[in-house]
Structure 1
């Protein structure tokens, strides 16, 4: 758990610094990736450390510690905060991947309209709306059912939603909202990616034919970097789908009355470990991300930033001086011309 905390926190902090600290990443796609990194940081900084704390207490005080804590589950408990954070960040991750797929689809299908449809202001508004919506959904079981609460589960080693002994079937169905929401977005994301890649395939075939006929390529086709970014979003989608699948099966089994202790542990921690895979995918797929990471750790940007500014100013001053020399009248002898023409 401690190693997972270090990997998630360090990797996503680096991603956040790169996406927000470099102007080349100040794009709608960069803001969405920064939102995804922020959700993963919350998991590494808040969710997993509490599990580490509980496991240490169990080791020091024995299994009776969990039993003593379970008797106070209906009062205020740290899980009442940690649980919604984990659920909300999970929803934010899949919602952000869905928005990334839409942004890439517009870039590929309508490259000429991208800057008009996908703007920074709209992207920031969608990010804010997605965070509010996702955390509201995380609180829905607690707001609309008195028999549902949050407690630390010794099987999954996490804060999970739990029921009081006299519960009704209608209360159980509220938890089905979580897998329904996630799978709806995942299904929509896969459909959007299929449409995007069918268009990419058509563009690639057109490029191949144009290359054979030695003519110029069409001007409204997506660039190679856009196609590579679309493939990266597909990999992120597949990674999250594989990670969320076991949790969805566990939630469905819990609603049906099954108690899968060992399975719940693997399901939740596979989903948690997905928070550090985004950085690995960026590092493998995104060349600009790798270059910016090397610059960040080597300090190259800090050394080159100030000289580049002065070089740009010097070049600008030199160009202005040349223009003045060209336009300045040159006085010559009476036999010569009045102006020297270049």
Structure 2
């Protein structure tokens, strides 16, 4: 791998361009393009399914819809990652700003939505008698809207875009957002430490309750006492298990990125390492709908209805796909 200039006519003011073997470029283009198309397609199927079928209009599914929208946006971020394979930005400054804002908003919204999903499962499993009064469709919608609005304004506040006119511009041909050291610490606290701690604490509690309920169900006395609520608990526990897989995969994909970001604050991190963990972070958006395919029967039914164009028939939104 050798380095040349992004804009040779600008001399030393130009950023360094990474030159790789042609075969490596082709392989990277194929991999990133495939992930981008797969991410956009699968999450679009989730968006269409939950939006179209009224039987899926539940508080939990509206949270999944929010997660699918943020993952759908990440699918387009992969396109910009492809453009930056050689470490050079050839588009306009406006597109660079769009890329940076979209990256921050979509990832922040994903984190916020996963926190809401954890709260939803915590109430459903730990306080099932009051779940339907505490968690309603309207409250779920308002929570999602509030989450996205907060993420958008948070992004605008915390990002200081490197413009050509300021002293932060190190070279021509780059597209990065500058975070002040204080803003970097604040970002780590608000988008990593607090939400991830909340997610882990809530799901540990859900796991403890799930284990205790499973033991109670094996007791004949407990089954007699709880026979009116066991059926509800089983369905909620099943949903908690599926969403638990989503949360675990989410933590595994995003944690390395924040660890590298934290290390980068005290020492130099190779750009290849940062690119790897960032790609892993974005790849999580492709994994989520795959989890639904394998673990949600209703999603598989919805996909069949979409590809067979049955959703175009009148009254298809009322179909029982559960």
Pairing 1:194-273 to 2, within 5 Å after superposition:
194-210=204-220, 215=224, 217-221=226-230, 222-273=232-283
Contact 2:161 2:177 in 1 (8 A): no
The answer for the alignment partner of 1:111 in structure 2 is 128
Determine if contact 1:149/1:162 at 8 Å carries over to the other structure: no
Q: Which of 47, 68, 81 pairs up with 1:16?
A: 47
Change in Cα spacing, 1:152 to 1:142, as seen in structure 2 (3 Å) is farther
Partner in structure 2 of residue 297 of structure 1: 307
1:179 counterpart residue number: 188
Q: Is the contact made by 1:101 and 1:192 (CA closer than 8 Å) also made in structure 2?
A: yes
Is residue 49 of structure 1 aligned with residue 66 of structure 2? Answer: no
CA contact (8 A) 1:173 1:255 kept: no
Higher relative contact order by CA 8 Å / sep ≥ 6: 1 or 2? 2
For structure 2, the 5+ residue unaligned runs are: 1-31
Cα offset for 1:40? 0.9
Runs of 4+ with >4 A deviation: 143-154, 299-306
When residues 149 and 93 of structure 1 are mapped into structure 2, their CA distance, relative to the original with a 3 A threshold, is: farther
Separation (CA, whole Å) in 1 of partners of 2:181 and 2:80: 26
Q: Given the superposition, is the C-alpha separation of residues 147 and 32 from structure 1 closer, same or farther in structure 2, using an over 3 Å criterion?
A: farther
> Distance between the aligned counterparts of 2:107 and 2:171, measured in 1?
18
Instruction: Give 1:326-337 correspondences, 5 Å limit.
Output: none
Q: Deviations over 1:61-103 (max 9, x none)?
A: xx8x55xx6xx9xx94422221121111111111111111111
Pick from 102, 118, 127 the counterpart of residue 85 of structure 1: 102
Provide the rounded CA distance (Å) in 2 between the counterparts of 1:242 and 1:119.
30
* Equivalent residue number for residue 101 of structure 1: 118
In 2, are the aligned partners of 1:98 and 1:185 still within 8 Å (CA)? yes
Secondary structure in 2 aligned to 1:78?
A: helix
| 1:61-72 map, 5 Å | none
CA deviation vs aligned residue, 1:112-156 (integer Å, no higher than 9, x gap): 2112110111111111111111122223333599876899997xx
Is it true that 1:189 corresponds to 2:189 in the alignment? no
Change (3 A) 1:217 1:91: same
| 3-state SS in 2 of match to 1:223 | helix
Q: 1:141 aligns with which of 150, 158, 169?
A: 158
- How far apart are the structure 2 equivalents of 1:257 and 1:213? 57
| Structure 1 CA distance for aligned equivalents of residues 114 and 254 of structure 2 | 13
Distance change (3 Å), C-alpha of 1:215 and 1:116: closer
Task: Give the aligned partner of residue 10 of structure 2.
Answer: none
Shift of 1:303: 6.3
2:302 matches 1:285: no
Does the Cα contact within 8 Å between 2:217 and 2:223 map onto a contact in 1?
A: no
The whole-number CA distance in structure 2 between the counterparts of 1:275 and 1:264 is 18
In structure 1, the partner of 2:28 is none
Q: How has the CA–CA distance of structure 1 residues 208 and 283 changed in structure 2, closer, same or farther, with 3 Å as cutoff?
A: same
Q: Give the number of the structure whose alpha-carbon radius of gyration is greater.
A: 1
Counterpart residue number, 1:161? 177
Q: Is the 8 A contact 2:161 2:178 kept in 1?
A: no
Deviation at 1:39, TM superposition (A): 0.6
1:126 matched to 2:156: no
- Does residue 3 (structure 1) correspond to residue 34 (structure 2)? The answer is yes
